[in-house]
Amino acid sequence: MGYSIFDDTMVDMTWPEIEAAEKKGAIVILPTGIIEEHGPHMGLAVDTYAAYIVSVKAKQLLDSRGIGTLIAPPQYWGVSAGTSVFPGTFSVRPETMQAVIYDILASLKSWNFDRVFVINWHADIEHCRAILAALQDARREMNIDAVCLVGEFDIRRLRLTGEEKYILKYPQPPMTGLSEKYVDIHAGSMETAVMLKYFPKHVKTALAKKLKPTKVTFEDLRVLGKRDEATRKLIPDGYFGNPAGYDISAAEKMVDDDAKAAADYIEGYLKNK
Ligand SMILES: [Zn+2]
């Protein structure tokens, strides 16, 4: 694995290799993230790198168990109303994202891939809903078995039942650094640690060590994106969490556990078909 989100994906394969993999019954993982500001200490692609890394690790496990797996080009145009006041957050309209995901699935289906698993790393509600809407349309209109892996936390947050055909409910490990009172989910300890582990070149470590923890609650997050001044006031540096509290081995374990849970549940899903 290098710094390219194309490494180990379909992008670096030739078309005959892709065709041969399909003939052998390969499945496809589609990583989805966003290009979004991640504090003063990290580049914009954290969520895209994270979705990519979990996808690659899940692919390696599945391949080792005899389930041929390809990774579609990581989809990095996402939706973020919350941080769009900061330069660097490219936010597309939900309908744009929905259309892009749909069209990616249509391309895959046209080459006979009909089992696709979305691994998403970006929590914005509208972003998640756009993915789920695209999956529902694709399942209905093109007879493709495409699902998004969703953990318990997101099932509650997105008001799903867990029984929807377009999701694959799996035991996603809890995010490290998520304390009871203050949220640490955006460019905080966990994401900083994930980047330091896998893409350290894109972290300004000395600066990260100096950043003060924020005291932002889930309740506070409701103002995000509603008004620019309120967003700037709540998260003046663009992060919420504790960048300096990064724990690289905890983050590595979380990513490994996530990839293993994803691989186990994809394997189980395929067996039950
Ligand atoms: Zn992030």
Task: Dump the DSSP string for 35-57.
Answer: -----TTB-TTHHHHHHHHHHHH
Q: Is 250 within the bounds of a domain?
A: no
Q: Percent of the chain at pLDDT above 70?
A: 97
Q: In which band, very low, low, confident or very high, does the pLDDT at 176 lie, cut at 50, 70 and 90? A: low
Q: Which domain holds residue 54?
A: 10-174+255-271
Is the model's pLDDT at 103 over the cut of 90? Answer: yes
Is the model's pLDDT at 225 over the cut of 80? Answer: no
CA distance readout (Å), 196 to 42, 78, 156, 225: 10, 23, 30, 28
Distance (Å) from CA 48 to ligand 1 centroid: 8
Distance (Å) from CA 186 to ligand 1 centroid: 5
Number of independent structural domains in the chain: 1
Distance (Å) from CA 38 to ligand 1 centroid: 7
pLDDT digits over 31-81, tens only?
999 999 999 999 999 999 999 999 999 999 999 999 999 999 999 999 998
Q: Is 38 within the bounds of a domain?
A: yes
Distance (Å) from CA 241 to ligand 1 centroid: 11
In angstroms, the first-to-last Cα distance of the chain is: 32
Q: Is 104 within the bounds of a domain?
A: yes
Position 136 scores a pLDDT of 98
Q: Is 142 within the bounds of a domain?
A: yes
Is the model's pLDDT at 1 over the cut of 80? Answer: no
pLDDT digits over 121-140, tens only?
999 999 999 999 999 999 99
Q: Considering only residues 258 and 222, tell me which one the structure prediction assigns the higher pLDDT.
A: 258
Find the mean pLDDT for residues 89-100: 97
Q: Give every CB contact of residue 144 below 8 A, 6+ residues apart in sequence.
A: 105, 108, 109, 113, 114, 115, 116, 138
Position 221 scores a pLDDT of 86
Q: Is 34 within the bounds of a domain?
A: yes
Count of positions (residues) in the chain = 273
Position 273 scores a pLDDT of 79
Is the model's pLDDT at 222 over the cut of 70? Answer: yes
Distance (Å) from CA 123 to ligand 1 centroid: 8
Q: Is 41 within the bounds of a domain?
A: yes
Q: In which band, very low, low, confident or very high, does the pLDDT at 180 lie, cut at 50, 70 and 90? A: low
pLDDT digits over 243-265, tens only?
999 999 999 999 999 999 999 99
Position 179 scores a pLDDT of 61
Distance (Å) from CA 112 to ligand 1 centroid: 33
Is the model's pLDDT at 2 over the cut of 80? Answer: no
Q: Is 181 within the bounds of a domain?
A: no
d(CA 167, CA 111) in angstroms, rounded, equals 23
Is the model's pLDDT at 99 over the cut of 70? Answer: yes
Find the mean pLDDT for residues 228-245: 93
Of the candidates 243, 150, 178, the residue with the CA atom closest to the CA atom of residue 205: 243
Q: What angle do CA 74, 150, 34 make, to 5 degrees?
A: 30
Is the model's pLDDT at 193 over the cut of 80? Answer: yes
Q: Is 226 within the bounds of a domain?
A: no
Position 43 scores a pLDDT of 97
Is the model's pLDDT at 111 over the cut of 80? Answer: yes
Average pLDDT, the chain: 95
- CATH code, domain carrying 126: 3.40.50.10310
Distance (Å) from CA 251 to ligand 1 centroid: 13
Position 224 scores a pLDDT of 84
Distance (Å) from CA 203 to ligand 1 centroid: 13
